């Protein structure tokens, strides 16, 4: 394929078994955009049902898309798709990482990277524009992510972008990740690289991503797009009353006068960050304050950080000097959200917003980001704590092993506990290390007490031992449906971003009516009304744009801009911005409807792929599930009443009916129908599913 705007025209394929390095024509895969869409397509075409995550025949697809590297706002993400080792059936899933790595892959001239096979000894992959080499990683194996990154950078130059696994991925710990650019991680994918003896992928790219549109038109578009973006999670009003703002609300737009990046030297004030000041967008979200509390958050924040091409800095970079003296790790650490709560979540006795809490948090980062250990959205630390407090671990473990574990550090709320427990899991030390390294789904098969725990609200566990992630507390049935769809914790933020805008409910409903057909698609938080068609449309569009974001690529942690901070637009955003961006970058005609059809195609393919690996006809019953608590918590208040997120079983059955209807999926089974698949250009998928007896 001749290079077009956005696309580079070729995809890199590396077979680690044979050492063969080949290219694919991107044109073959353009119906799936790139990113996770490409990943699903490669799995469908090349990885037979019955394949396991660590088999050499499994593929791991590092997917970027036409927008990655283009400079389109928030386009810095990479979707890593493979069979997902944390899932009990190792069904397909995607880990998503930001940073600079994905853009660099594009600058090196590649539209994505497919890895297959298994090297006979540890290797790393060096992509230097069109020169691609498999290099020996003997000296790197056994080392953490930071040393691997530093050594590769010393070997080929400091401007190289490195994605690497730590010891966790090498040791086939299922709860492991791929790390890049210090603080960015793709959850669950570390051990797939480890199983292939692939330590790292390092890229130097000097080329261009072409923009098809006229320079001036593109520039105007980019600034228009930026003007529609608020803060992290697309909060479009500030958290506190500000002179420039009509509204304020519970958002991540927390910048204000007198608030500082206190560990910058000298400190930098976030200050007044009005909606029209695009040169202060990067100060709008002070993630240090959000993740570590106001005192330690300001005191220890060096600056914000994040991905290529994104003005919203959702990572926080901290300096906690005590980490060096007390625990012997670097004082400098960075992460966001669960990355920052990972260390803290091994405790239940740390005062929130305290110095000791930030020490636990950042010691957790220092260890986990170097080991390449994955938080699993907090699920496995919750399981460890529960099992300890309930005496399950004591009852199950050999007393000698139990006594060798420094539980007194956990009881004392001493962050040094992490030095033991994280290492134990990373190196699969003892029975405990092995069990928890396999993750919650495998654990609950061995320890039925944990399976029972997962059915309770306190576990925060949604289904199949995966954590809930913006579920029924975010839009009631909308979040519920979305959390039923994936083979890991759901990674959808489309709906939660819409609901976290901070705009008054009346405005949310008004805009919701324009987007979803009825104001009733949007409820007040924790005051959910019965299921209706609008909510099905809301859920469908949320998933369509999630898959589009992960394929284009664009950031689903802040996009889409369905609302905006602009009072002059009555807080309307523009649902067509993704299609407009794609049209301008590629020079192709792409309408909103065209792009949404592509999103649907990707969703159908993912659905079919999951059903095929499950060999499952009844996705409705056996895949789209929720744990007991969703319908039973809290016990003292009825479902769909004020103040609760409790769902009603019959109402959720109706929700499935309406949602499947929107998707064009069979109501009885939740499978995409032949007509739906054919309409989406997936006849070959329908044929294959029929052959396997999964659809008519």
Partner 1 sequence: MSERNSDDAGKTLEVDLPVSSPAGEWHILSRRDFLKIVGVGASALALPQIVAVGVADAAPQAQTYGPNAKGMIIGDPTRCTGCRRCEIACTSFNDGKSQPALSRVKIVRNMNFGVRGEQGGAARGEGNYGNFLIVQETCRQCAHPVPCQLACPNGAIEIAGPVNARIINVDKCTGCQMCQAACPWAMTVFDAAKKKSSKCHLCNGDPECVKACPNSALRYVPWQDRSRDVAQRWSVPAYLSTPANVASTCVQCHK
Under the criterion CB under 8 A, does residue 620 sit at the interface with partner 1? no
Nearest CB to partner 1, comparing residues 40 and 317: 317
Q: Does 304 bind partner 1 (CB under 8 A)?
A: yes
> Which residue, among 589, 567, 562, has the nearest Cα to 577 in the 3D structure?
562
In the structure encoding, which two tokens stand for residue 182, read together? 């210090």
Residue number with CB closer to partner 1 (311 or 664): 311
CA distances from 310 to 161, 238, 381, 482 (A): 17, 19, 31, 26
Q: Is 93 in the site for partner 1 (CB under 8 A)?
A: no
Six-digit token pair at 213?
Answer: 């549109």
User: Pick from 35, 238, 305, 381: which binds partner 1 (CB under 8 A)?
Assistant: 305
- Minimum separation from the CB atom of position 49 to partner 1 (A): 40
Comparing CA positions, the residue from 40, 123, 146 lying closest to residue 83 is 40
Task: By CB under 8 A, tell whether 110 contacts partner 1.
Answer: no
Query: Is 327 or 346 the residue whose CB approaches partner 1 more closely?
Result: 327
Continuous H helices in 438-473 = 440-446, 448-454
Is there binding between residue 564 and partner 1 (CB under 8 A)?
no
Binding of partner 1 at residue 182 (CB under 8 A)? yes
Phi, psi of 305 (to 5 degrees): -165, 180
| In the complex, least distance from residue 580 CB atom to partner 1, rounded to whole angstroms | 16
Which residues are CB-contacts of 324 (< 8 A; sequence separation ≥ 6)?
Answer: 330, 331
Residue 500 vs residues 252, 559, 610: alpha-carbon distances, Å: 9, 12, 30
> Candidates 135-143, 303-311, 476-484, 630-638 — which segment interacts with partner 1 by CB under 8 A?
303-311
**Which 327-366 residues touch partner 1, going by CB under 8 A?**
330, 332, 334
Among 207, 406, 504, 664, indicate the residue that binds partner 1 (CB under 8 A): 207
**Binding residue for partner 1 (CB under 8 A) from 89, 128, 153, 404?**
153
Residue entry with tokens 């909308």: 478
Stretch 308-327 residues interacting with partner 1 (CB under 8 A):
308-313, 317, 319
**Residue placing its CB nearer to partner 1 in the complex, 302 or 644:** 302
Between 317 and 665, CB nearer to partner 1: 317
Q: Rule CB under 8 A: is residue 681 a binding residue for partner 1?
A: no
Q: Least Å distance between CB 336 and partner 1?
A: 13
Structure tokens that stand for 447 in this block: 């320890």
User: What's the min distance (Å) between Cβ of 282 and partner 1?
Assistant: 4
x/- track of binding to partner 1 for residues 258-287 (CB under 8 A) = ---x--xxx-x---------xxxxxx----
Handedness of CA 513, 562, 252, 627 (dihedral sign): positive
Buried b (16+ CB within 10 A) or exposed e, 142-157: ebbbbebbebbeeebe
Per CB under 8 A, does 557 bind partner 1?
no
> Which residue bears the tokens 């049935």?
477
391 is a contact residue toward partner 1 (CB under 8 A): no
Bridge partners, residue 115, by sequence: 14, 60
Opening angle at CA 559, ends 271 and 606, nearest 5 = 150
Closest CA to 301 of 253, 358, 222, 374: 358
Residues 535-554, one symbol each (x = binds partner 1 by CB under 8 A, - = not), give --------------------
Q: Which is nearer to partner 1, 332 or 347 (CB)?
A: 332
Return the beta strands (E) in 337-472 as ranges: 461-463, 466-467
Q: Which residues bind partner 1 (CB under 8 A)?
A: 69-71, 100, 107, 146-147, 149-150, 153-154, 157-161, 181-183, 205-211, 214-215, 218-219, 222, 261, 264-266, 268, 278-283, 302-313, 317, 319, 330, 332, 334
């Amino acid at each position: 394929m001749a290079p077009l705007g956005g696309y580079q025209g070729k995809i890199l394929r590396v077979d680690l078994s044979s050492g063969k390095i080949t290219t694919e024509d991107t044109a073959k895969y353009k119906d799936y955009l790139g990113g996770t869409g490409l990943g699903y397509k490669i799995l469908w075409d090349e990885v037979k049902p019955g394949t396991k995550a660590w088999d050499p025949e499994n593929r791991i697809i590092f997917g970027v898309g036409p927008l990655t590297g283009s400079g389109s706002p928030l386009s810095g993400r990479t979707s890593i798709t493979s069979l997902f080792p944390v899932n009990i059936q190792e069904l397909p899933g995607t880990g998503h990482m930001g940073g600079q790595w994905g853009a660099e892959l594009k600058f090196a001239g590649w539209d994505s990277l497919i890895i297959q096979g298994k090297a006979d000894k540890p290797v790393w992959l060096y992509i230097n524009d069109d020169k691609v080499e498999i290099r020996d990683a003997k000296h790197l194996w056994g080392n953490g992510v930071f040393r691997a990154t530093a050594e590769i950078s010393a070997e080929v130059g400091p401007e190289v972008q490195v994605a690497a696994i730590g010891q966790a991925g090498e040791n086939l710990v299922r709860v492991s990740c791929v790390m890049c650019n210090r603080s960015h991680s793709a959850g669950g994918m570390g051990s797939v690289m480890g199983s292939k003896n692939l330590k790292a992928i390092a890229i130097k790219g000097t080329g261009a991503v072409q923009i098809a549109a006229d320079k001036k038109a593109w520039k105007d578009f980019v600034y228009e797009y930026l003007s529609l973006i608020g803060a992290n999670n697309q909060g479009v009003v500030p958290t506190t009353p500000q002179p420039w703002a009509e509204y304020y609300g519970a958002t991540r737009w927390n910048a204000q006068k007198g608030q500082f990046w206190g560990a910058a030297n000298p400190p930098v004030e976030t200050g007044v960050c009005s909606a029209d000041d695009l040169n202060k967008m990067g100060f709008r979200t002070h993630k240090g304050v959000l993740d570590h509390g106001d005192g330690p958050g300001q005191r220890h924040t060096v600056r914000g950080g994040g991905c290529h091409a994104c003005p919203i800095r959702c990572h926080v970079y901290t300096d906690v000097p005590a980490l060096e003296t007390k625990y012997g790790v670097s004082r400098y650490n960075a992460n966001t959200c669960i990355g920052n709560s990972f260390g803290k979540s091994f405790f239940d006795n740390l005062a929130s917003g305290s110095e000791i809490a930030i020490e636990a948090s950042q010691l957790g980062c220092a260890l986990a980001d170097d080991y390449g250990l994955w938080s699993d959205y907090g699920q496995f630390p919750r399981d460890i704590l529960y099992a300890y407090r309930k005496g399950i671990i004591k009852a199950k473990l050999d007393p000698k092993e139990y006594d060798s574990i420094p539980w007194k550090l956990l009881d004392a709320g001493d962050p040094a506990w992490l030095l033991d427990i994280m290492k134990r899991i990373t190196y699969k030390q003892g029975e405990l290390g092995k069990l928890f390294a396999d993750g919650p789904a495998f654990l609950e098969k061995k320890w039925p007490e944990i399976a029972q725990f997962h059915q309770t609200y306190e576990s925060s566990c949604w289904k199949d031992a995966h954590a809930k992630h913006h579920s029924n507390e975010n839009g009631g049935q909308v979040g519920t449906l979305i959390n039923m769809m994936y083979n890991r914790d759901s990674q959808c933020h489309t709906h939660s971003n819409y609901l976290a805008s901070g705009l008054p409910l009346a405005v949310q409903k008004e805009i919701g009516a324009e987007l979803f057909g009825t104001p009733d698609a949007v409820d007040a938080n924790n005051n959910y009304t019965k299921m209706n068609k609008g909510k099905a449309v809301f859920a469908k569009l949320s998933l369509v744009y999630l898959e589009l974001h992960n394929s284009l690529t664009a950031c689903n942690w802040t996009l889409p801009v369905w609302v905006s901070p602009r009072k002059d637009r009555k807080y309307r955003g523009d649902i067509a911005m993704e299609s407009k961006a794609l049209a301008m970058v590629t020079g192709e005609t792409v309408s909103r409807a065209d792009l949404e059809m592509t999103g649907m195609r990707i969703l159908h393919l993912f659905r079919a792929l999951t059903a095929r690996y499950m060999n499952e006809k009844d996705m409705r019953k056996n895949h789209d599930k929720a744990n007991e608590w969703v319908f039973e918590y809290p016990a003292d208040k009825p479902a769909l009443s004020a103040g609760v997120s409790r769902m009603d079983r019959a109402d959720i059955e109706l929700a499935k009916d309406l949602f499947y209807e929107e998707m064009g999926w069979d109501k009885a089974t939740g499978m995409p129908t032949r007509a739906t698949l054919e309409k989406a250009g997936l006849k070959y998928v329908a044929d294959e599913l029929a052959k396997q007896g999964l659809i008519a």
